[in-house]
Structure 1
Amino acid sequence: MKTSSFIQKLKLKLKKFETVENYDEQKWYKRDWTRQTSEQFLSNKQIGVFVIRQSESIEQALVLSVKVPIYIHSSQVCHYVLIKSKNGLCIRGNENKMFKTLNNLVDYCSNTRDLIPVKLDVDYYILESNTIYNRSNSLNSISSNHSDFSFVSSENEL
């Protein structure tokens, strides 16, 4: 009897987890960014880099802002409204393609261009994290290798 009760509780927790995502854990999610902030960030990025943020004008909606080629949009950034419903979420205008989670939508759009004109570059965020990690490790190794500073000449020797 206890086992079936435990399994039922576990199923409820898993169901709840599937429908409520913690977007803040994603490096590409920028809760408080505006349209302008997104455009400034994306202006010097490569095509496909994106952010997802809360909509400023549509309650309970998200916006996918993505860097695109200039021939698609003169500002090189397109914004797509993501509509949430009880069935999942979709890109406005493509309601026939529903996704259970935001991560599912991002994964799909990073592998195909049938909903938006470019593939999302999720690797940008992976590479960015590795670059920061590698830079900090390089700095640590430099300081540990030369912590006594004996290699520096004194003023009298110059």
Structure 2
Amino acid sequence: MSRPPLNPEKSVAGIALDPQTLERVIPESKRPDGTFRKQIKIRPGFTPQEDVRRFRGTKQAQMDTNALPKGHVIGWTPPPTSTAASGSNGTKALSKSAKKNAKRKEKREKEKPDTVPDNWDEEEDEEKPSSNASAKKGTGTSENASSTPAESSSDASKTANALAAEIEKLDVK
């Protein structure tokens, strides 16, 4: 026969099940002055006010069981597990359209600017002329690839000068 637990589980009111007699009791406890309170037996079927649960209808109880956890966003799905990610890295062959879409996505990510401008007003004013310049640069990419090292160094000095001009604009006067 096993021994009774040292600390039997208690209800909110402090009622526990006596392991020897299997009756519901409030176990004896020690008062601050050192004396002990007697163990109190609880009548069968009695439920103290502290243990009475709030009434929930069947529909309400069903809604409580189906409720989403706190902080859950509707429609959000967790990211795929590592096994699914490793499966798409190359073990599974991609179709032609999937390969095409992947290339398009990579191209869009390369074209996307990495930084956020410090001053949005200045950026909008500069955006109009630079969009034409970027369109010209886009057409000259094949020429850029075949350019000589001297031309690429002049491009680097142009970007350095442009960067210096940007820094001068940011100086506080």
In the superposition, the TM-score normalised over structure 2's length comes to 0.23
TM-score calculated relative to the size of structure 1: 0.24
Select the structure of larger CA radius of gyration: 2
